């Protein structure tokens, strides 16, 4: 027969074992919550294409600053290059201002034919187009009474394209597309560069006559267009107008940044 004291001891040991097992279970306050699983699904945007951004960054070559451009002899359209030399007997300085101020690409143009008495078309060679470049040059007399000098005609201006210098030309007819274009100083309508209209006092017929000397003042400026022929896919960024002025210097004009002077 088991003694009463032994039963008490066994009961105490059993309670101790049970309590020890329960103490290894974390209490409610220290339980780690299970991560919540989201039941929300992604919904595709429904609507017109403008809801989706399709913009692509446009990369353009940075234009040189005016200072860096000038340091290489370059100018933007409508910027003046001035060349100077001392006149005879070193009395006064001769200062001439020159700019290429406007341009226009054309697939063709029309001229007035005095024999046919109608406008006739002029087309470039196949795969090419025309480029009209407008140039102004004038002699400054503010430093004194400066005598006229020999002018610089269209042959002094060439077009640089793909590393080559292309010569320009002039058309000694009235051109339909240009007949209402004013000169830079608004002194008249543009003519082929280095030419002026002369009216015969008897027949009253007029013709284009070449200029030889550049007189002083803006009113006597040479102002007109030079025609170049370039490939059809030519862009303005591919080109520059180069002027060489008979030992008095040289300069070039780029077409970038000159949209306000384009007649396209």
As a whole number of angstroms, the distance between CA 221 and CA 194 comes to 10
As a whole number of angstroms, the distance between CA 185 and CA 80 comes to 14
pTM flag (> 0.85): no
Instruction: Choose between 47 and 235: higher pLDDT.
Output: 235
Burial of 248 per CB tally in 10 Å (0-12, 13-18, 19+)? middle
Q: Which of 81-95, 174-188, 244-258 has the lowest mean pLDDT?
A: 81-95
Given a cut of 60, whether residue 162 has pLDDT beyond it is yes
Given a cut of 90, whether residue 224 has pLDDT beyond it is yes
**Shortest CA distance to 151 belongs to which of 200, 93, 83?**
83
The pair phi, psi for residue 208, each rounded to 5°, is -85, 130
Secondary structure letter of residue 53 according to DSSP = -
As a whole number of angstroms, the distance between CA 53 and CA 49 comes to 8
Given a cut of 90, whether residue 205 has pLDDT beyond it is no
pLDDT, average across residues 152-156: 96
Using 50, 70 and 90 to split pLDDT, how confident is the model at 6?
Answer: low
Q: Where are the alpha helices (DSSP H) in the chain?
A: 4-22, 66-71
Using 50, 70 and 90 to split pLDDT, how confident is the model at 93?
Answer: confident
3-state SS string over 227-239?
EEEEECCCCHHHE
Place of tokens 């590393």: 163
Residue-wise pLDDT tens digits, 20-78: 443 333 333 322 333 333 333 222 322 222 222 223 333 335 678 889 999 999 999 99
Which structure tokens are listed for 30? Answer: 């220290």
Phi and psi based region of residue 207 (left: phi greater than 0; alpha: psi -120 to 50; beta: remaining):
beta
Using 50, 70 and 90 to split pLDDT, how confident is the model at 263?
Answer: low
pLDDT of residue 29: 31
pLDDT of residue 107: 97
Using 50, 70 and 90 to split pLDDT, how confident is the model at 113?
Answer: very high
pLDDT of residue 209: 95
Given a cut of 50, whether residue 164 has pLDDT beyond it is yes
Question: Are 129 and 230 spatial neighbours (Cβ–Cβ below 8 Å)?
Answer: yes
Residue-wise pLDDT tens digits, 119-136: 999 999 999 999 999 999
Domain spans of the chain, in order of start: 74-261
Given a cut of 90, whether residue 118 has pLDDT beyond it is yes
Q: How many residues would you count in the chain? A: 264
Q: Which of 73-77, 91-95, 104-108, 114-118 has the lowest mean pLDDT?
A: 91-95
As a whole number of angstroms, the distance between CA 55 and CA 67 comes to 34
pLDDT of residue 48: 27
3-state SS string over 137-165?
EEEECCCCCCCCEECCCHHHEEEEECCEE
Given a cut of 60, whether residue 96 has pLDDT beyond it is yes
Which structure tokens are listed for 139? Answer: 């002699």
**Shortest CA distance to 65 belongs to which of 75, 80, 57?**
75
Given a cut of 70, whether residue 19 has pLDDT beyond it is no
pLDDT, average across residues 170-185: 94
DSSP string, 97-130: EEEEEEEEEES-EEEEETTTTEEEEE-PSTTEEE
pLDDT, average across residues 223-233: 97
Which structure tokens are listed for 3? Answer: 């003694």
């Amino acid at each position: 027969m088991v003694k009463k004291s032994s039963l008490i001891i066994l009961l105490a040991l059993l309670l101790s074992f049970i309590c020890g097992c329960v103490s290894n279970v974390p209490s409610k306050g220290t339980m780690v919550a299970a991560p919540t699983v989201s039941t929300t699904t992604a919904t595709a945007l429904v609507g017109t294409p403008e809801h989706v951004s399709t913009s692509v960054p446009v990369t353009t070559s940075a234009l040189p600053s005016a200072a860096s451009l000038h340091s290489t002899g370059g100018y933007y359209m409508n910027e003046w290059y001035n060349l100077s030399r001392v006149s005879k007997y070193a009395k006064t300085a001769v200062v001439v201002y020159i700019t290429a101020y406007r341009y226009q690409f054309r697939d063709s143009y029309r001229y007035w034919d005095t024999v046919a008495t109608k406008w006739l078309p002029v087309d470039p060679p196949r795969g090419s187009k025309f480029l009209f470049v407008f140039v102004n040059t004038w002699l400054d007399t503010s430093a004194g009474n400066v005598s006229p000098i020999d002018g610089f005609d269209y042959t002094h201006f060439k077009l640089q394209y793909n590393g080559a210098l292309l010569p320009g030309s002039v058309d000694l007819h009235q051109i339909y597309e240009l007949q209402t274009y004013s000169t830079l100083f608004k002194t008249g309508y543009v003519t082929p560069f280095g030419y002026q209209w002369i009216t015969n006092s008897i027949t009253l017929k007029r013709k284009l006559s070449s200029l030889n000397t550049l007189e002083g003042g803006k009113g006597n400026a040479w102002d007109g267009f030079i025609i170049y022929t370039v490939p059809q896919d030519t862009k303005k960024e591919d080109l520059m107008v180069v002027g060489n002025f008979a030992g008095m210097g040289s300069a070039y004009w780029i077409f970038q940044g000159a949209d306000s002077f384009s007649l396209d």
